[in-house]
Structure 1
């Protein structure tokens, strides 16, 4: 369901008229449009002296600057936007893609870490529910995120409406700096991912080590820097790596908010496929995958070197978030409150704008959009896209994906952890679903398994329908289970397993009764991600959903959006509600098995 479709597309990059060739790679790597200043290096790799001289000139031209965008409300002072100026230096398509991915990663980590800190260290009403809901943005189809950000930050959006109440605006947030809005949209997607991964690590921090450091004279900041940060670093790097890969391979958000003017490699691959230039698209996809796998391998080597960084989550007392008025006015609580305001604007704002948009039109409040969905549901015609079958299919596919992806992820975690350093290569290849272009995967499915592949003896391999959708979802989801379970599994004390074996337990019994219960928090977190991936998956689902009864909620949103935006936004609101309730249920049920 993965390697075969991807191989079919990748073959276009190395074949020309049936013969193996590297001509397509040479064309891309020597074109400044794609690789910028590195084109000369690839064109003449032996001219080392010339390249070093050019490198010195390029480094001298690079400077950090503040570009001026639009005035601060009520003043003539412009709002600064941090930028790296490289006069005369071409970064190329790959360079710009890496640049926006780096900005998006920084923004995601900056927004995700405070959320992880609050959820892991403070107790307040609704904490568990809020923790469950942090994954909701991760399942929204990209086009819905783009619509939500336009509804929030556009000239007639929610933010400008609020500012208008106090006599400010409207401000052209999207039009003035679309890159900033794209970065925020990426953070909307990926900051919850960073928060989810880091919360599990933060809850596993050995408090006794912190108390020991304090008793030896270390201040609160010193103990945090020397004891807590090293235990959090691998989890933070995991979130940052996944964010960089996702935003490096970004497609719908950039296409919707920035268009070809902010084209990334993935957007250009889409454009090439639209123009039927499969060779160039496949070549770009191969290079993109190599870079992503290289980053994944580097991280996994680091993770294996940091074995023991994390422990199973433990029950420990949490401080009340707002115990009294005096504490509420402390600098730390005020900072948390300020972060809450930012989170409301960046995370809640776009989703709330979607919900409001489903109940409004140009004339004000209306239920017309939901009436349209109800009419479609009551219409018995099988060719209509109806809401309830979409919801039912999404939930069933999500549950089936859990049954397949969670065991897959756990098995791969066990195999790679036991293999030690030699398992890093296998682990890297197992992460291929994260590194492969969704567009390439979809096209490969269409060219291969959906249309069918001729086999010897007159047989034909063809896979479509519900089983194929679940298999594709499971392949896309199991790496998240692996990345949540492996760190916890590698940190377990071997003496515990050896003690169980000494008492007569088989290796399998020790795994089931000792190891897996101690990594239950990682399994539950991975299960939530697997369910989220299945609920929000679109590219393979829309291709594999043969007939009229296999469509899911994201596919229904796309079908409605092609006709009328109101019903699409209403269907997107149903997607929000159903997935939010599902995640709360999953974590409440799964939480029973956490230590």
Structure 2
């Protein structure tokens, strides 16, 4: 009996020792099947013809003026470039076309600049002033990671469209109309909506670590406020600012739903044109575009990771105290407070306006208040017409996929966090696993999943396929688990290693120490990461729009895009805004969970 008991204990301990390595291997396996293999299949499609390696497809795209504009000469006739430049200068430096890639870079640069200009005052406000609602305002900077981008696009359509809320207000004031639809300006503004809070969040964190003693020393030595800021504060903010700018550029370079809804093919970026090629079943050309885009985005992400790693240093600085902020008639004499008040108005128009406009549009018709658009959604639910987008299946699918994503993404994120913080040599692998899905376009991943899982892959004579619903859950999990890791890793790294060492010295396995000691201590961070994963699944559009099949797998964002594009519904955005409001309610619940848990974790 005793010997049998010892054998059971020994077997259990061996099993516990294998749990984490097996979980890590399973995570790598999921990533290999759902991410690496599909993406590599897209890359292979671009460089393999008739079983042989070739650069011809890539060169065909790069040499096409439609894609690279004037830069196509680099690939067709590089020796003619000096003469071409001289001729261009003699002609008076006329405007030149940079093609689809050039426009994508141009709009990303403009969006990055706008995001920085709008985000920096917010960082100054949060870092230097204390006021009622400051903590809530700072929590709102996570909204870009929660709000579905296709829903934000609907809000911008409802506010800045020809019959939008902004023109209604301007008309009431006797001012002429402004129509920003299908212009570069509205795309840049929508990108700023998403990325300015990211700039604010990163720069605020850096600003709060500026050593107040160095600033006070500079002022005591005769430096004015501007000189002290330029010489002491700005150098410490630049790393965070450059990091935020680089991230913003990557995000806007890969932007898809916002450009699709607000610009269409008229202002198409590489991502939108790639989607159009897939829709036209030009899969080879789409794969070539996806390959070039992926190489560029991976290079930019690599630069970001290298730069971020170089800037990670411990700090014992004394943060500057925040000044109380109150607005009244007396503060009108303070130019700083006046500027912040003006900035507050801009923030209300840009960040609150689109969401409010969507809500107003959903209950407003030509005759005033109405519930007709919500009644329309209910009517869609009972119709049997082919091609009808019914709201209830979209809602059920979104929630079901969100739960499935939680079941996969949370364990994957925890495993990668454990390897990153406790894995020694495996931490480098864990970092790579964590970062790669963030750097690849969702449309490229969706195209790869179509070619491999949905269309099927033959292995050893057997054909393996995964239906749209399963493929969507797997794709959502891969997209969401890095956000679980981003929440769990700092919390896990903050646990005193002596607690784990003590448990191990008493005979606990690595898995048992994680289960009994570490996870209870970081439960709030795990729950926050899970809420992020759920919210990302609910709002994911890029991959889902390619994988959704019929009523079995389309989600709320996909249904929302179909309502936008369905001209049979008339020019009104009412049905789309009604569906967007339903989506807003679900994502707002996710935000409230994240905000509460994030606050508890910080405390």
Shorter chain as denominator, the TM-score bin is 0.7 to 0.9
Cα distance change of structure 1 residues 399 and 544 upon mapping to structure 2, 3 Å threshold: same
Q: How many angstroms does 1:139 deviate by? A: 4.7
Q: How many angstroms does 1:536 deviate by? A: 0.9
- Structure having the higher Rg: 2
8 Å contact from structure 2 (residues 180, 186) kept in 1:
yes
RMSD: 4.4
1:552 and 2:559 aligned: no
What do the CA deviations read for 1:231-254 (whole angstroms, capped 9, x no partner)? Answer: 444433333223212221233333
Which residue number in structure 2 is paired with residue 168 of structure 1? 175
Which residue number in structure 1 is paired with residue 72 of structure 2? 39
8 Å contact from structure 2 (residues 111, 189) kept in 1:
yes
- Count of residue pairs the alignment pairs up: 561
Which residue number in structure 2 is paired with residue 148 of structure 1? 155
Cα distance change of structure 1 residues 582 and 498 upon mapping to structure 2, 3 Å threshold: closer
1:246 pairs, out of 246, 251, 262, with 251
Distance 1:501 1:137 in 2: 36
Which residue number in structure 2 is paired with residue 584 of structure 1? 592
Distance 1:319 1:510 in 2: 44
Q: Which shows bigger deviation, 392-401 or 190-199?
A: 392-401
8 Å contact from structure 1 (residues 138, 192) kept in 2:
no
What do the CA deviations read for 1:5-52 (whole angstroms, capped 9, x no partner)? Answer: 22233322122233332211121222233223332222355x4xx645
TM (norm. structure 2) is: 0.78
Cα distance change of structure 1 residues 348 and 128 upon mapping to structure 2, 3 Å threshold: same
2:118 pairs, out of 111, 118, 126, with 111
Cα distance change of structure 1 residues 501 and 553 upon mapping to structure 2, 3 Å threshold: closer
Distance 1:415 1:354 in 2: 43
Secondary structure of 1:539's partner? coil
Distance 1:569 1:148 in 2: 8
- Relative to its length, the structure with more helix (as a share) is 2
Which residue number in structure 1 is paired with residue 537 of structure 2? 534
1:23 pairs, out of 51, 56, 74, with 56
Secondary structure of 1:243's partner? helix
Cα distance change of structure 1 residues 196 and 61 upon mapping to structure 2, 3 Å threshold: farther
Secondary structure of 2:170's partner? helix
Distance 1:400 1:223 in 2: 52
Cα distance change of structure 1 residues 551 and 41 upon mapping to structure 2, 3 Å threshold: closer
Distance 2:323 2:423 in 1: 40
Which residue number in structure 2 is paired with residue 461 of structure 1? 464
Distance 2:310 2:166 in 1: 46
1:237 and 2:242 aligned: yes
Q: How many angstroms does 1:318 deviate by? A: 4.6
Q: Which shows bigger deviation, 161-170 or 148-157?
A: 148-157
1:573 and 2:577 aligned: no
What do the CA deviations read for 1:199-221 (whole angstroms, capped 9, x no partner)? Answer: 44445555566556656765544
1:369 pairs, out of 361, 370, 373, with 373
8 Å contact from structure 1 (residues 296, 428) kept in 2:
no
Q: How many angstroms does 1:398 deviate by? A: 3.9
What do the CA deviations read for 1:46-93 (whole angstroms, capped 9, x no partner)? Answer: x4xx6456567768989xxxxxxxxxxxxxxxxxxxxxxx62533222
8 Å contact from structure 2 (residues 406, 530) kept in 1:
yes
The answer for unaligned runs of 5 or more in structure 1 is 63-85
Q: How many angstroms does 1:469 deviate by? A: 3.4
1:102 and 2:109 aligned: yes
1:12 pairs, out of 36, 45, 66, with 45
TM (norm. structure 1) is: 0.78
Alignment of 1:241-320 (within 5 A): 241-308=246-313, 318-320=322-324
Q: How many angstroms does 1:333 deviate by? A: 1.6
Which residue number in structure 2 is paired with residue 159 of structure 1? 166
Q: Which shows bigger deviation, 268-277 or 220-229?
A: 220-229
